Amino acid sequence: MEQVYLTLNAGSSNLKYSVYDAQVRHKLTAGKLEFKVSPSDSPDENALSLAVDRVVALVENTFGGDCIAAVGHRVVHGGDFYSQPILVDEEVLARLKTLIPLAPLHLPAEINAVEIIRQHYPDMAQVVCFDTAFHTTQMPLAQWFALPRTLNEQGVKRYGFHGLSYQYISTQLACVLQPEHRAKVIVAHLGNGASLCAMQDGKSVTTTMGFTALDGLVMGTRCGELDAGVVLHLCQQQGMSLKEVQQLLYKQSGLLGVSGVSSDMRELERSGKPEALEARQLFCFRAAQKLAGLIPALNGLDAIIFCGGIGEHSAATRAMICDYLAWLGVKLDVHANSVAGNGTQNINRLHAQGSAIGVYVIATNEELMIAQQSAAVVVPH
């Protein structure tokens, strides 16, 4: 019986999973289970428990009992504790629980999934892999807020997220990018969640997400960068509760809030409503604006890489962002951009002849990173 690696990405209303072979080279199967959230909009532990059990049963029925070498979990926040994946034990679990205030919409479900495996399958090895870990190499200034130092010491700082995606992209630079484009790179992870990361020689220097996954770019339902005074106004003048503000900023804003149509870029591109176009324009303008703002951290720019659901599949979004950056000398190959990501051709290079900046699209693979990190922890080389 060949052993496999199971990856889990637990949310409040779904559980994504994938299975990789013992050499962590091939994805054998993958899927997502949807379930209802509790009335309080928090993770339903019973529903998540049933989902975890279904996934484990599916894997063992398909590949044999006791086939799971390890379960790798995507965990959004590692705080200042973790810069590397780590095997789960009581101490790790206790530390993760102290980080819940830093990611209240993500960590509870992720921790619940870890605890369910521990309770139902106590002999199964588990590894937690952190989205913040890749950004621990950020330049120190990039991690600061202009707040009293005591708050920084208490952990109120810029952490950055989407690290598993960025780490995968960093492994692809040497085989996809032309040699002259590999040193100073900005990666645009554009999806329902969206951020940018400036990389020097494949390492994170600075990123647009900060203390939470709410900061930076316009997203599907999240507002991105926001004047903190708006939050004070909503509470003090509009009489909104903190829970109502949280719901507004995380679930009712972004593309959905601006367009009034949808949080899905594909639907907005199909829509004829002017509000849908305006939402798309805002998304692209902010992405270009923030991308330009990362260039000083690199002291230049060699290439832009698009990834994530929107970044990989929306030619119109890529074109609009690059149009805003034409002053940098960015020139797209119109044909290459139009067909990249549509499933008909495997195209990575998007820049035209004579472009001062390389432009590429790379399909990211966070699940592979989780599986590889889990295998490295369980069977260190």
| Mean per-residue pLDDT, 87-97 | 97
Residue 105's pLDDT is 84
Residue 380's pLDDT is 76
Q: Is-contact 380 125, C-beta < 8 A?
A: no
Q: Is-contact 219 196, C-beta < 8 A?
A: no
Residue 1's pLDDT is 67
Q: Which of 150, 191, 143, 228 is nearest to 313 (CA)?
A: 191
Terminal C-alpha separation, the chain = 22
User: How remote is the C-alpha of 63 from its chain's centroid?
Assistant: 30
| Mean per-residue pLDDT, 286-296 | 98
pLDDT digits (tens, 9 = 90+) for 340-354: 988 777 899 999 999
**pLDDT band for position 38 (50/70/90)?**
low
Residue 120 has pLDDT above 80, yes or no: yes
Residues linked to residue 187 through DSSP beta bridges, in sequence order: 197, 305
**pLDDT band for position 111 (50/70/90)?**
very high
**pLDDT band for position 37 (50/70/90)?**
low
Residue 35's pLDDT is 87
In what side-by-side order are the strands of the sheet with 194-200?
Answer: 203-207, 194-200, 184-190, 303-307, 358-361
pTM of the shown model: 0.95
- Is 264 exposed, middle or buried (CB count within 10 Å of its CB: 0-12, 13-18, 19+)? middle
Residues linked to residue 251 through DSSP beta bridges, in sequence order: none
What is the C-alpha separation between 283 and 262, in angstroms, rounded? 13
Tell me the pairing of strands 126-130 and 184-190: unpaired
Residue 187 has pLDDT above 70, yes or no: yes
Residue 202 has pLDDT above 70, yes or no: yes
- Quick check: helix, strand or coil at residue 210? coil
Residue 103's pLDDT is 87
Residue 379's pLDDT is 87
Neighbours of 89 (CB within 10 A): 10
So which residues are the catalytic ones? 131
Mean pLDDT, all residues of the chain: 95
Neighbours of 330 (CB within 10 A): 22
Residue 332's pLDDT is 98
**pLDDT band for position 377 (50/70/90)?**
very high
Residue 342's pLDDT is 85
Helical (H) or strand (E) element with 184? strand 184-190
pLDDT digits (tens, 9 = 90+) for 248-267: 999 999 999 999 999 999 99
**pLDDT band for position 220 (50/70/90)?**
very high
Residue 189 has pLDDT above 60, yes or no: yes
Residue 41 has pLDDT above 80, yes or no: no
- Quick check: helix, strand or coil at residue 203? strand
Which one-letter DSSP state was computed for residue 344? S
User: How remote is the C-alpha of 337 from its chain's centroid?
Assistant: 23
- Quick check: helix, strand or coil at residue 283? helix
What is the C-alpha separation between 194 and 349, in angstroms, rounded? 21
pLDDT digits (tens, 9 = 90+) for 140-157: 999 999 999 999 999 999
Q: Is-contact 5 126, C-beta < 8 A?
A: no
Neighbours of 120 (CB within 10 A): 12
Q: Is-contact 254 222, C-beta < 8 A?
A: yes
Residue 8's pLDDT is 98
Residue 285 has pLDDT above 70, yes or no: yes
What is the C-alpha separation between 12 and 101, in angstroms, rounded? 16
Neighbours of 66 (CB within 10 A): 12
Q: Is-contact 6 59, C-beta < 8 A?
A: yes
What is the C-alpha separation between 65 and 338, in angstroms, rounded? 46
Residue 42 has pLDDT above 70, yes or no: no
Q: How far is CA 352 from CA 75, 322, 362, 377, in A?
A: 38, 12, 17, 42
